[in-house]
Structure 1
């Protein structure tokens, strides 16, 4: 489990296409400290398993399902990525509960800079819109954010200078894709209420 508090802005240093999968090599001095084979690291919000770790780099395999559902397939050598290690039991939950299971992708539609923050408008797939509410939580490229406005096919978030400086959202421009993970609590509530209706 993750919290959506990005630990560092890493970099893709290698991409190997394997037909129905890809192997990525990524640099991240913070997240590789103490990392070993089998550990999990979130890359732009996608929970990946460490295959090998050497120095400040690690490799991870990404299967076709993940490449199709997320924006990882668009990564190339030099791409910057948000990196986060799983939260430790007993640690502070700085963001919200993030599984690292991307629900879909959105597209940055608009950026409106202000003096001290920036409003970013992001498209929202129709099947995810019901889970996104004003002042609720959403994960964008692995970043735990609060929804400002929630429309039928978009939402907006307000980014503070720290987020702009230390994550990919400070770099991405309109037209670029981002990974989205909606609040898992909303999905469980929907499923439980649906099951209760079916038994009436």
Structure 2
């Protein structure tokens, strides 16, 4: 009798995890957007998700891990890859369009701004953001252009344009970049991103890695 009961308990936990995980992620996304990384607590996230704080730790391990998971709701590497593999315009334009949509969509704009601001002002958030970019975004983007260390460097150089544009346009709101129509920004930024992703290595001066 003991063995079936034990099996039933394990099965119940597996069935409950996906629902709890989605609820916790939704709560974390909202809390990080409203309160920033430093002021957001796992207890507050758990209360919003109607779960015990121990469940948050069980599902994600730490606040930094939860921050990374919430980031993936905003910047989904699979969506970026799909955009880069599209057939409209060149690869840089497709990536820039998809990236700017994250910043301008009502569903993600405020959260993205809060998370990037947290990453520039809090050490733990910065490390979580850095590892998310390195392990997920840069790996995914570099995979589209062949993979390897040189491809990762190309992806990182392209990211300097994307992140810099976001900081000046959406966080610091510096004109005229902050007030230009999105189509103008795409037109001006895309050539540099395309160049970093596709130009000859010698032209870019890339080192042998």
TM-score by length of structure 2 reads: 0.21
As a proportion of its length, which structure holds more helix? 2
As a proportion of its length, which structure holds more strand? 1
The answer to which structure, 1 or 2, has the higher relative contact order (CA under 8 A, 6+ apart) is: 1
TM-score by length of structure 1 reads: 0.21
Larger radius of gyration: 2
